[in-house]
Amino acid sequence: MWDSEIRAMASAHAIIASSVFMATVVPAVLVENFSVYRTHLVWLYSVCGAVAAVNVAVFGLLGVSPPAKKHTLHHKVSRLVKSCLHFLLSCLFFHAVVVLYGAPLLESTLETFSLSVLLSTLTTLRCLCVLGPNVQAWIRVFSRDGAMSVWDTSLQITAGCSVVGAWLGAFPIPLDWDRPWQVWPISCTLGATVGFLTGLVAAPVWIHWHRKQLTYKSK
């Protein structure tokens, strides 16, 4: 059981990671003058879109998300609306945090907001896919020793890695190298993406490594 779950996770993560690469390669073929630095926002949103779509598809197919209690259309719509609302709120939350970290408040709002959209896609959206719009469950997963399944642990790892990646990505900004990737928010988005990819790789490996120690309470 363990091995099959880990294998499923590894393949799911591989698909998600490849979607990030595809989101970088495909627009380069299709869009004229595409470049990760110069048309950064195009790249950013293509990555966001790809990751979001693949996440929703993969987790929908795997059936990891909690089973809906009612199968009525009304319930499904309200779930969807709730999820969208959560996503928007998390975007605003990340935006606020980034501004608190010193991003300009009035200038380059679009860039800052795009960064927060990316961060939300990499963290919140996965939570929504795995846990549903249920804040109590989120708090449980992200408090210490709160993980109840392999997926919870992977969520913890990927979300943590994305955020830490974005955090580390801010380091080179004050350096006077005048490189194109030092422009706000490119280093942070790149950091977040790299962190996310690292998290995708690290999560199955870490769980495999610690599979003896990991004992989850049943729900």
Partner 1 sequence: MKVSSSVFASLCLILELFGLALFLRGFFPVPIKSSFSSKSKLSDLPAEPLTGTSPNASKVPPALFKRVVVVLIDALREDFVFGPSGRKYMPYTRHLVERGSSHSFVARAKPPTVTMPRIKALTTGSIPGFIDVVMNLNSPVLLEDNLIWQAKAAGKKIIFYGDDTWVRLFPKHFMEHDGTTSFFVTDYTEVDNNVTRHLDSTLKRDDWDVLILHYLGLDHIGHISGPHSSLVGPKLVEMDDVLKKIHTSLISRESEGTLPNLLVLCADHGMSETGSHGGSSEPEINTPIVFISPAFKRKVAMETPPVVEQVDLAPTLALALGLPISQNSVGCVIPAVFEETSLREQLRFLHLNGFQLSCLLKDSIPTFQKEDGYEQFRVSEKSHGNWMKLYLEGNTSEVLVNMGRKVLKQYLEALKSMSSALSRQLGKYDMYSMVVGMSVCVCLQMLLLLLFAMPEALSNGAVVDLPLGSALLSLPFYLLCLLCAALHVFVCTSVGGSCYFCSLPWALVFTAVAFSCAFLCTLVSMAARRLSVGAKSPTKVSNWRLSELDVLLLLGTVGHTLSLASSSFVEEEHQTWYFLLNTLCLAVFQDVCRKYFREKKRLSQGEDEGPLLPSTKGDNAADDASTSFSPVAELGVSAGSEKWLALATPLLTLACCRLLRSLNQTGVQWAHLPDFSHWLNNGEHKTVLSLLAVASLALVFVLVQRRCSLVSKIALALGLLGVYSYRAAVGNILFPWQHTSRAPSKGTVEARFVYVFVLGILFSGAKDLLRSQVISSDVRLKSRGLWEVYSGLVLLAALLFRAHNLPVLAGLLLIQTLMAQFIWKRLHYDAAQTTIMHYWFGQAFFFFQGNSNNIATVDISVGFVGLESYVEAPAIFLTAFSTYAGPLLWACHLVCYLSSERDRSVVSLGHGCYCFALLRSIPAVAYVVLVTALRYHLFIWSVFSPKLLYEATHTLATAAACIFFTFMDQNQNLTRP
List of residues contacting partner 1 (CB under 8 A): 97, 99-102, 105, 139, 143-144, 167, 170, 173-176
Nearer to partner 1, 59 or 94 (CB): 94
**What is the nearest approach in angstroms of partner 1 to the Cβ of residue 215?**
20
**What is the nearest approach in angstroms of partner 1 to the Cβ of residue 144?**
7
Classify residue 181 by its DSSP letter: G
Largest CA distance in the chain: 58
- Nearest to 19, CA basis, from 62, 60, 48: 48
Nearer to partner 1, 139 or 205 (CB): 139
Nearer to partner 1, 182 or 198 (CB): 182
**What is the nearest approach in angstroms of partner 1 to the Cβ of residue 195?**
15
Nearer to partner 1, 55 or 187 (CB): 187
Phi-psi region of 98 (alpha: psi -120 to 50; beta: other; left: phi over 0): alpha
**What is the nearest approach in angstroms of partner 1 to the Cβ of residue 99?**
7
Q: What separation in angstroms does the CA of 84 have from each of 23, 47, 144, 179, 215?
A: 22, 18, 27, 36, 33
185 upstream amide cis, omega within 30 of 0: yes
How remote is the C-alpha of 165 from its chain's centroid?
A: 11
Half-sphere exposure of 5 (CA within 13 A, CB side): 14
**What is the nearest approach in angstroms of partner 1 to the Cβ of residue 2?**
28
Joined together, the tokens standing for residue 120 give: 């939300």
Nearer to partner 1, 74 or 144 (CB): 144
User: What residues contact 153, with CB distance under 8 A and at least 6 apart?
Assistant: 147, 203, 206, 207, 214
Nearer to partner 1, 101 or 209 (CB): 101
**What is the nearest approach in angstroms of partner 1 to the Cβ of residue 102?**
6
**What is the nearest approach in angstroms of partner 1 to the Cβ of residue 170?**
7
- Nearest to 115, CA basis, from 47, 211, 212, 198: 47
Nearer to partner 1, 42 or 173 (CB): 173
